[in-house]
Amino acid sequence: MTDEQPKTISRRALLRGAGAAGAVAAASAVGVSAATGVAPKGPAATAEVQPTVRAPGRVVYEHLSADEADLLEAIADQLIPEDELGPGALAAGAVVYIDRALGGALSRSREAYRSGLAAFERYCRSSRGAPFRQLSHVDQVSALIDVETGAATGARAGFAGSSGAFFGMVRDHVLQGTFGDPYYGGNRDFVGWDLIKYPGVRTAVSPALQTALEAGELAANHRSAYDSDNFEKAVVRHTRKETHHGD
């Protein structure tokens, strides 16, 4: 490593990319899109996933192993960290969203997460001498930049395809879990919407509300889109015995 500081992953750029319009799109589509990822094949496709048992007070993950969840939490914390702007991806429950969605709308991405997280950990060990969570902040950021730009692709890491594709998948899902409708397990306590000053879904907007919205004076209503009967409730996740809906 040199003393030169790597460029940082811009949280402000992520927030600009999300925006109020992005929140609206995520609120309506985040639970039904599963285009990204590789479909599992063979026995792993039908194997029952045992919930990850964690220490008291910790989240119980249903589809991510303990090691996978800890690594994904550390990655999400670098992508959207808590700072002077407000809470980040961890406070929003972005990894909870990903875990739940891997049992439903994002089930085709399960193998991509399994192989990608393992490859990323191998890359951190071989290129920087330690697991990702034990690296300094500077090394964590530089390792993620390598993955984002495709520099981590190759025999040393063992990514299936471009490492950039894995980074893009994780980044997209962290954004969904931070800024999507809280019905799907992320955006806990509406911290994501508050962060981008999104006032929440309105089924009807009067001229007075439109004026207040344009002036930035509309108070947040902290309501999920699915609090209204006007929105059809999508399947959130599957368990071994039953399918859960929001009704």
- The residue among 39, 7, 23, 14 whose CA lies nearest residue 171 is 14
Q: Enumerate residues 6+ apart whose C-beta is below 8 A from 170.
A: 72, 75, 76, 79, 113, 116
Boundaries of every domain in the chain = 11-244
Angle, vertex CA 91, rays to CA 85 and CA 94, nearest 5? 110
Q: Which tens digits make up the pLDDT trace of 139-154?
A: 999 999 999 998 887 6
C-alpha 3 chain-centroid distance: 31
Q: Which tens digits make up the pLDDT trace of 86-137?
A: 889 999 999 999 999 999 999 999 999 999 999 999 999 999 999 999 999 9
**Prediction pTM value:** 0.70
